[in-house]
A and B are shown apart, each in its own frame.
Chain A
Amino acid sequence: MRFDQELIASMVAPHSRVLDIGCGDGSLIGYLSREKDCDAQGLELDMKAVTQSVAHGLPVMHGDADDMLADYPDGTFDYVVLQRTLQAVDCPRDVLRHMLRIGRSALVSFPNFGHWRLRWHLLRTGRMPMTSVWPTPWYETPNIHPCTIYDFFALCEEDGYEVCKWMVVNGNRQSRLAGASPHLANLFGEQGLFLLRRKR
């Protein structure tokens, strides 16, 4: 399991009902079912990954976040997880809205487009930044809605989501320094990880 997935798993209470959107090879839901006795299911766009996950006994569905989430009734899950996918969906705002409708909490991780390396790359070369976190050229990137950590805080405020917890993941570790304030995070955080709840 990736490090950010371990962090996500650490925030999920045992015995919860979890939906993991963009579950990839299913390692997070596998871990949550095994180790935390969760009722975890996944949604994945890549059919090959879906077939593999189901063949490993994991409950995974083929489909994408943009049109499958609308089907679930309110409050179906305790947690809805969206790993590194927010920037790649057609309508990130609707996806978030659905996540917090069908789940009591949402766990969202996304790469931060405000990181200083990206800013510097754009300033210095005048070309679309490419880094290890943003590895594809502009013409074939699936990441059609990049955002910064500031942007994400602003959207949460606008749509009435409470940020219960947030942290910064740099490479394979949690950066407590960059996580000290949103300002530092926006400059020095490679990835943001948020635990959200609807405000009453």
Chain B
Amino acid sequence: MEVQSITFPEGITLQCGEKVAPLRVAHQTYGTLSPKRDNVIVICHAFTGDQYVASPHPVTGKPGWWSRMVGPGLPIDTDRFFVICTNVLGGCMGTTGPTSERAGTGRPWGKDFPPVTMHDIVAAQVKLIDHFGIDRLFAVIGGSMGGMQVLTWATDYPDRVFAAMPIATSPFQSAQNIAFNEVSRQAIYGDPNWHGGDYQAHGVIPARGLAVARMVGHITYLSEEALTRKFGREIRPGTVPSSGDPLSALPFGGMFQVESYLRYQGSNFTRRFDAHSYLTISRAMDFFDLGSEHEGNLSAAFRGVKTRFCVVSFSSDWLFPTSRSRTLVRAINQAGGHVSFVEIDSDRGHDAFLLEEPDFDRTIRGFLNGMARQAGLPAGECDNAV
């Protein structure tokens, strides 16, 4: 399988002081770059996402994770905009990360891959943008951890981002967010195949631990209502305890649909994700706190930032609840910035940003149209002027 990527031999010096070289940045692009290079939208993917935002995933064969949002005539219209999505630094879909070979060793980085931060993740994207000769992005859009990258883009490179949409996100990881991540990490560490982090040398992967990590994550992405609607208390027909798999040997001889679903999500995940990448990226999220870099004053991070923000939250999201978006909006206002804010009414939890939500689609399309007018971009065909 061919992965679109650019390799930077000089590498990148991380915030922790360590250097990763060479640096490979894997990405997908959609649409056409305008002659003025002013129609660029960078989409930042979430924790376990990847660059295949609108094209089939090479491993699972599933449609791109935002293919209902990104494409010709869709809210993020590739007839009009040039969309770039990169795999994050530390990821495992082609960008340099723990599964990449460490130069001069003939072996993957593995547990020795240095810790990365949101700043590092965005800095790697900046290298790619520079390589393309793009000076200023029309917009940066991302949900969940993608939203953290959006905020980092706008505050680290304020002159290079015209508009920004942080979606279902937060300006910091809360204690609860970190706690859930820690449970996931402990599941990985506790796997017998973990081998102190040297599982690659043993030719195995800590699949059980990684699957449990994913299961925990998945619960936090859904609302109680969504889980109830999807599965209720239904028991899967024909489930009997099988020998061999201790988790399926239930004392009552049946398996709830929700259990079956989580196991499926868990085991599927291990086919496409590396445990070290999981740890690296979850750590990058946990250490994200925009305010802490300004003596706890979040609004200071937005001082002088001219980027136009559209903050979006979902009413039933309990991972990054609306209150966190409000904190963000207040901080931007306190800094005298430009911000729109919408809470989309949905009962589907955090994951709603990936699902069919007509109000959300309209919000993205409308905001981008409005911003395109302000930026002086040519009007799109579906540009519904007010």
Residue contact B363 to A58, C-beta cutoff 8 Å: no
Q: Which of chain A's residues have a CB closer than 8 A to the CB of B334?
A: 71-73
Residue contact B339 to A61, C-beta cutoff 8 Å: yes
Residue in B closest to A69 when the chains form the complex, CB atoms: B333
Q: Which of chain B's residues have a CB closer than 8 A to the CB of A47?
A: 342-343, 345
Residue contact A56 to B341, C-beta cutoff 8 Å: no
Q: Which of chain A's residues have a CB closer than 8 A to the CB of B344?
A: 51
A193 sits at the interface (CB 8 A): no
Residue contact B386 to A41, C-beta cutoff 8 Å: no
What is the 8 Å Cβ interface bit string for chain A, positions 82-105, against chain B (1 contact, 0 not)?
000000000000000000000000
Top 9 A-B pairs, shortest CB-CB distance: A57-B370, A55-B366, A55-B362, A71-B333, A61-B341, A56-B386, A30-B386, A59-B340, A57-B369
Q: Which of chain A's residues have a CB closer than 8 A to the CB of B342?
A: 47, 50-51, 54, 62
Partner of A57, one of B329, B336, B359, B371: B371
Please provide the chain A residues from 34 to 91 with a CB less than 8 Å away from any CB of chain B in the complex. Answer: 34, 39, 41, 47, 50-51, 54-63, 68, 71-73, 76
Q: Which of chain B's residues have a CB closer than 8 A to the CB of A59?
A: 308, 310, 338-340, 370
Residue in A closest to B333 when the chains form the complex, CB atoms: A71
Residue contact B338 to A41, C-beta cutoff 8 Å: yes
* CB within 8 Å for A54 and B330 given contacts A41-B338, A47-B343: no
What is the 8 Å Cβ interface bit string for chain B, positions 306-344, against chain A (1 contact, 0 not)?
001010000000000000001001100111101111111
Q: Which of chain B's residues have a CB closer than 8 A to the CB of A39?
A: 338
Residue contact B386 to A71, C-beta cutoff 8 Å: no
Nearest Cβ distance between residue A176 and chain B, in whole angstroms?
32
Residue in A closest to B370 when the chains form the complex, CB atoms: A57
Contact residues of B with A, CB < 8 Å?
308, 310, 326, 329-330, 333-336, 338-345, 359, 362-363, 365-367, 369-371, 373, 384, 386
Residue contact A54 to B367, C-beta cutoff 8 Å: yes
* CB within 8 Å for A55 and B365 given contacts A30-B386, A71-B333, A72-B333: yes
Residue in A closest to B325 when the chains form the complex, CB atoms: A62
Residue contact A61 to B329, C-beta cutoff 8 Å: yes
Report how far A60 CA is from B369 CA in the complex, Å: 14
Nearest Cβ distance between residue A39 and chain B, in whole angstroms?
8
**Subset of 18 A-B contacts with CB under 8 Å:** A41-B338, A41-B340, A47-B343, A51-B342, A51-B359, A55-B365, A56-B370, A56-B386, A57-B369, A58-B370, A58-B386, A59-B310, A59-B370, A60-B340, A61-B340, A63-B341, A68-B330, A71-B334
Nearest Cβ distance between residue B58 and chain A, in whole angstroms?
35
Q: Which of chain B's residues have a CB closer than 8 A to the CB of A71?
A: 330, 333-334
Residue contact B370 to A51, C-beta cutoff 8 Å: no
Q: Which of chain A's residues have a CB closer than 8 A to the CB of B384?
A: 56
Residue contact B386 to A68, C-beta cutoff 8 Å: no
Please provide the chain A residues from 1 to 35 with a CB less than 8 Å away from any CB of chain B in the complex. Answer: 26, 30, 34
